[in-house]
Amino acid sequence: MPNNLPIVIIARLKAEAGLERELLTELRSLVEASQKEEGCIQYTLHRLEDVPTDFLIYEIWKSPKSLDEHTLQPHYLNFSLKAASMLAEQPTIDKFEKVM
């Protein structure tokens, strides 16, 4: 994958039942901080309609390097530590590269 092309991430997270609000609070903080990163083009949070435990983050980064830098930021590392005890299962993270 060329290092100068944008990369899209779709992250799916499922909260433990009863911890939806706590996870949402942490996710909002993560989104707010991530949107301020230089390499961030888009970083939006969604919740599955009628399923309050299921969240999706849609991210677009300027390059794979920008994404790598994101995963080293204090707000990302802090979220990862806090969220681990709030998740019902491991997050699913899909990476997409631009092909056209």
pLDDT tens, residue order, the chain (100 aa): 456 889 999 999 999 999 999 999 999 999 999 999 999 999 999 999 999 999 999 999 999 999 999 999 999 999 999 999 999 999 999 999 888 7
Q: CA 23 → CA 8, 53, 59, 65, 77, distances in Å?
A: 23, 9, 18, 27, 15
In angstroms, the CA 49 to CA 3 distance is 35
Could you tell me if residue 22 is inside a domain?
yes
Q: How many domains does the chain have?
A: 1
CATH (domain of 33):
3.30.70.100
In angstroms, the CA 12 to CA 27 distance is 12
Could you tell me if residue 34 is inside a domain?
yes
Domain extent for 12 = 7-97
Element (H, E) at 35: helix 20-35
Radius of gyration of the chain (CA): 14
Could you tell me if residue 1 is inside a domain?
no
Could you tell me if residue 56 is inside a domain?
yes
